[in-house]
Structure formats: C-alpha cells, structure tokens
Amino acid sequence: MLAVDAKKQMALHDQFGRQITDLRISVTDRCNFRCFYCRSADPENYQQHDKILSWGEFERLGRVFHDLGIRKVRVTGGEPLVRQGVEDFVARLSATGFEDLSMTTNGHLLSERCERLLASGLKRINISLDSLDPVKFEKITRTKTFASVMAGIDTAQNSRLAPVKVNAVLVRGFNDDEVEVFAQFARERGVIMRFIEFMPLDADRHWSREVVVPATEIYQRINARWPLVQIPHEASETARKYRFADGAPGEIGLIAPVTQPFCGHCSRIRLTADGKLRTCLFSKEDHDLRGLLRENASDDDLAIYIRSVVNEKEKGHRINEPDFVAPSRTMVFIGG
Ligand code: SAM
C-alpha cells in the first residue's frame, strides 16, 4: 500500500528537470467563432463525436493526472461552453481535488453560464477579446457577438471569479492600433489585460514574423502613456506582469512566446479533445491516450505511459530556428 501511495506522490518531471504541474484540457474541437488568426480555413472539419473523449473518459484521465502531481487545470477548446455538460465536468474536476481550476472562453455564452460554473467550482476565467471596436471585432471573429462578449466580461467581473483576465492576440495591421485602448480598458475596468503574441498556429498559415507585434513594443507604448511597474511572477508563469505606477486599477500581462520564449520554465502539457497528449503547443506529434483508454488500460498503465511521454517533452518550441515547421494541428484543435 505504501509503495502505491509513494508512486502516486511522485511528481511528473521531464528529462530537463522541469516539473509538470499544469494541464490544459480541450473539451471540444468545436467553436462558435471563426477568428481569422486561428481557424478560418478549417470551417467544419470537426472530428466525429465518437472520436472525442466522453466526459467519463476525461474524468478518469483527470484523476490519473492528479495522482501524477498535476495541480492546475485549465478547461479550454475549441470553445468549452459549446459542449453540453461542461459545468458537470468542472464539478468532477473540482471533486478530484485540483488546487486551481480555470477556463478559457470567448465569453459569448458566459453571462448565462457563469453562475453554474461558479457553483461547479471554477475559480478563475480568461476571456478572449481581440478588439474593443465592435466592427473590427466582427471582422476578426466573423460573428456579431461583441455585445454578448462584453456582457460576459461584466458578469464575470461582478461574480466571485477572480481574477478576470482578458486576452488579446494582436496582429499587425488589424488591431495593433488598439494597444493603448486596451490599456485604458484595463484601467477603467480593473481587469488584467493580457497581450499574446501571434503564433504560427493559424489554419490559413498566414503567420509571418512581420505581423507579430512584439511584447517589447506593447510595453513601450503603454509605459510611455502610463508608466508601468513590474510585478514579480513565478518562473513558470507565461506572462510578464505590470501594474500602473499611478495606482490605477487593472494590470497588464505580456505573453511573448515568439520574441522571448519561456520554454525553460514550462510546466504545461495538453490533452486534446480527441484524447491526445501534447507536451508542447508546437509538438510535431501527439500521443494517444484515447486508444489506451478504449483498450481497457489500467490507471497504472496510463500513468506509466504519461510519465514516459512527459519525459521526452521538447526542450523548446523552436519557432525561431531556421528549420521550424508549424505543427499540423492548429490552435483550435490543440486547445489554447
Ligand atoms: N474558445 C476559447 C477562446 O476563445 O478563448 C478557447 C480556445 S482559443 C483556441 C484559446 C486562445 O488561443 C485564445 O485566447 C485565442 O486568442 C488564442 N489563439 C488562437 N490562435 C492563436 C494564434 N495563432 N496565436 C496566438 N494565440 C492564438
């Protein structure tokens, strides 16, 4: 018995000594938005339902990951709120005992679902918002949902979900003129406004270095208008964090996977909706947990396999290497 308990306590490490404590679970590959920097060219090539893990399969894997030392889980997609039953799944994850349970959503369905998510044990939320101009928002997402997303942010801010983070991906020529507008939004609304560099994970393969808006530029522009003070952060955190020197509420986060990679401290792995384990956003291959689950593997078999896969986690994402090749799965099929 002692040996079993000791094994359960053994944390997940990779060959470079990084401890893996964070898991992103993509519960669906479906999305009700079609953001041009993510999925425009793959409109309806979703996987068939039987290829997607059932809630029971996700829950079982969740328990195995928990026993392997995963402490933080982020539920994502696709759009997690389009899959019926996601609140019950959050409740099951909560009962499993994860210390930190969060969700990334486009916010469109959040107003009506926020209460139930809270009651299920969700602690934090990240809402994607790529423009504060309704016309531009419509062009980026190819939806007419600006008002409902803003309502979702309102509802989240007025709830016990804390903190509320708003994520924007800036693409040169589309929305990079809004840096200061977003910063003003953070100050007025008291939200954590995070800017994520555009990564080569778009379906149309339009990514190029020229359209990436570097985090240093964003920092300089905001700092010139409202001086910023850096806030200490955990090494494994993706964002460099800043508060406003004048004491205004809100915060700025800069996530720079392209220009300032943070792979050396990466503590994350990902589980896709079809049950594949990915050790990096940019992994060339993924690892089949669905097959094992459906061939009646025991929890121990699953744990042993997960350990062996994690051990081989890539040292870094290689976006900046001359021989870099973008992964065949795009962001919506990985889970951001
Ligand atoms: N549907 C949810 C949402 O909109 O937040 C969750 C899934 S979405 C794939 C997760 C995050 O990935 C979003 O913040 C989105 O902006 C980001 N994302 C998608 N494609 C990206 C890309 N090529 N580069 C950087 N971030 C991207």
Atom of ligand 1 nearest to the CA of 200: 23
240-244 and 251-255 as β-strands: parallel, antiparallel, unpaired?
antiparallel
Question: Which residue minimizes the CA distance to atom 4 of ligand 1?
Answer: 106
Token pair, residue 46, equals 């979703």
CA angle 234, 238, 243 (to 5 degrees): 70
Q: How far apart are alpha carbons 185 and 191 in whole angstroms?
A: 8
Q: How far apart are alpha carbons 162 and 183 in whole angstroms?
A: 19
Question: Which residue minimizes the CA distance to atom 25 of ligand 1?
Answer: 198
pLDDT digits (tens, 9 = 90+) for 209-238: 999 999 999 999 999 999 999 999 888 889
119-133: string of b/e by CB count within 10 Å (b at 16+)?
ebbbbbbbbbbbbbe
Question: Which residue minimizes the CA distance to atom 12 of ligand 1?
Answer: 336
88-105: string of b/e by CB count within 10 Å (b at 16+)?
ebbbbbbebebeebbbbb
Do residues 72 and 179 lie in contact, with contact meaning Cβ atoms separated by under 8 Å?
A: no
pLDDT digits (tens, 9 = 90+) for 180-194: 999 999 999 999 999
Say how many Å lie between the CA of residue 336 and the centre of ligand 1. 5
313 HSE (CA, 13 A, CB side): 27
Ligand 1 in reach of 202 Cβ (< 6 A): yes
Ligand 1 in reach of 167 Cβ (< 6 A): yes
Question: Which residue minimizes the CA distance to atom 2 of ligand 1?
Answer: 105
Do residues 194 and 255 lie in contact, with contact meaning Cβ atoms separated by under 8 Å?
A: yes
* Assessment of whether the complete model's pTM goes beyond 0.85: yes
Say how many Å lie between the CA of residue 127 and the centre of ligand 1. 10
pLDDT digits (tens, 9 = 90+) for 135-147: 999 999 999 999 9
pLDDT digits (tens, 9 = 90+) for 63-85: 999 999 999 999 999 999 999 99
